[in-house]
Amino acid sequence: MKKKVYGAILAVLGLFILMQLIPIDRENPAVTLDMPAPKPVKDILKRACYDCHSNETKWPWYSYLAPVKFMIRHHIDEGRNKVNFSTWDQPQGEEKAEIPEEIIEVIEKGEMPTWDYILMHAEAKLSNKDVAVLKQWAATTDKGGERGETGDDETTATNKPTHKTSKDTTLVQKTKDTDDE
C-alpha cells in the first residue's frame, strides 16, 4: 500500500515537473490604437481590465508555473478575443458601440473582473465610485463607440466631434454629403 501511494506521489510530481517544460506565449502584441476614453475611465480599465483585455498584459511570477500558466493564457486569449482595448482600430468581438454597456452589464452581474483575478490583484476590485464613473461614461459615450481621450470637446482618432451641437451635426452632414459626391 505504501509503495502505491509513494509511486502515485512520484508520478504526480513527475507530471508537474514535465508540465513546467511546456512553453506558452507571453509576448504582448503591439498596441495599434488604444481605446479613446476619459482619463478616469482609462485608469479604472487599466487597473481592472487591461491584463486580459489589452496587449499590455503584465505577466506575474505565477504565470510561469503550470498549471496556472495555462489558465492565465486561456483567460487572456478569451479576453482579447471578446474586447481588446489595444486594437481599437480593428474589429472587436463585440460591436464597439455596445462595449460600454456590455462592460457595465458584466460588472453588475459580478462576472468581471473575475473572482480569481481579484484574488491575486486586490487593486482590480471595483469600488462603488469606480462603477459610477464607468456607468456615467457608458451613458454618455457616442453610439459609434468613440469618445475623446479626455472626455472634453475634442476629436477622436477618427477626427469626428465627440460632442455634437446642431451646428456640428450640420457641418458633419455637409461634409458627408460632399464626400459622397
Grid cell 469606480 in the structure block, residue: 130
| Alpha-carbon gap, residue 5 to 2, rounded angstroms | 5
User: All 3 cell numbers of residue 118?
Assistant: 481579484
Structural domains in the chain (count): 1
Task: Find the domain containing 25 and state its range.
Answer: 2-156
161 CB contacts (<8 Å, ≥6 apart)?
Answer: 153, 155, 168, 172
- Is 162 part of any domain? no
- Is 77 part of any domain? yes
Predicted confidence (pLDDT) per residue in 10-49, tens digit: 999 999 999 999 999 999 999 999 999 999 999 999 999 9
What single DSSP character describes residue 122? G
Phi, psi of 153 (to 5 degrees): -80, 70
- Is 68 part of any domain? yes
Phi, psi of 33 (to 5 degrees): -160, 115
- Is 33 part of any domain? yes
Predicted confidence (pLDDT) per residue in 129-147, tens digit: 999 999 999 999 865 444 4
- Is 177 part of any domain? no
Q: What is the pTM of this model?
A: 0.72
- Is 94 part of any domain? yes
Report helix, strand and coil shares of the chain as percent, to nearest 5.
Answer: 55, 0, 40
